[in-house]
Amino acid sequence: MRVLAIDLGGTHARCALVEGSKVLQVAELRFSDLRFLAPLLPQIESVLRGLMAGSTEPIAGIGLGFCGLVDARVNRVSSTNKKFIDAPGLDLPGWAREQFGLPLLLENDARLALLGECYTGAAQHETDVVMFTLGTGIGGVAMVEGRLLRGKHGQAGVLGGHVPVRFNGRTCTCGAIGCAESEASGWSLPLVCAEWPGFADSSLSQGEINFKNLFSCAASGDPVSSAIRDHCLQVWGAAAVGAVHAFDPELLVYGGGVMRSADAILPFIEGYVAQHAWTPWGKVRVRAAKLGDDAALLGAIPLLKKELQDVR
């Protein structure tokens, strides 16, 4: 089965031609203006046509992972968080039929990434999984008894970054207070650092404030960086325990750019969950994602395969 896949993130779109468990071709678009999606569709269309032109096999459809809330029942974006604010009003399946003569299925990008990891990555043969993506924001998604958790309003399980971990924390972009994302994500890390006592005298303050430099400075013995790193680890651990208590997974999978420091992150989370989660049945396993940026692209295969089988 050969499909086109689109992973529409907060700053870019990755478009690919995918077959089986392989990404055959991929092209990436970077966007300078993220307010509206409609003006960007011609660019995406051009890239997809180029991918189609290189295919010698028929294409079954298009799978699109979107960085917002998606109602898969009606195949539409239902809500966004200040990016692509026109997306809920766009008929993207209609656009795909008109431009390419192909069916298009929409899904939240984190759900699509988990489908990819279950299909051919770190969660193969697993039925009860929670996946977190640690990066600019914090993505979360849950699978229960082999089915993606969606809920009546399409937002069940996908707001792992917006679970409150501090009742008196900082305000998040979603409007809530003390979300995991507002306490330990790529966009909030500079805010956390600016408020940390003694930060101006730390080695981290001398360069770009990101997780790569945070973990590097902490590993070199900088005490302020170590304290901020530990704060982030505890936030991620608290979010993990919340997910375990909410969704009863046997496996936690972690992906995203922050996982370049997986050697420090995964053992901490595994130990934190073992200590604080109530799981009398046994121990929750913790594992790094395998597919990287290709996870959502490969998730388009099982997404479309199920839909086409249901139609038949």
Name the CATH architecture for the domain at 2-114+293-311. 2-Layer Sandwich (3.30)
Evaluate if residue 211 carries a pLDDT over 70. yes
Where along the chain do its domains lie? 2-114+293-311, 126-289
Please enumerate, as own/partner, the contacts of 303-308 that have beta carbons within 8 Å and a separation of 24 or more. Answer: 303/63, 303/105, 303/107, 303/112, 303/115, 304/1, 304/3, 304/60, 304/61, 304/62, 304/63, 304/103, 304/105, 305/1, 307/61, 307/103, 307/105, 308/60, 308/61
The answer regarding whether domain 126-289 maps to CATH 3.40.50.10490 reads: no
Q: What is the pTM of this model?
A: 0.90
pLDDT score, position 97? 97
Q: Is the pLDDT of residue 81 over 90?
A: no
Predicted confidence at residue 153, as pLDDT, reads: 86
Average pLDDT, the chain: 93
Is the model's pLDDT at 307 over the cut of 70?
A: no
Q: Looking at the predicted structure, is the pLDDT value of residue 224 above 60?
A: yes
Residue 140 has pLDDT above 50, yes or no: yes
pLDDT at 130: 97
**Topology alike, domains 2-114+293-311 and 126-289:** yes
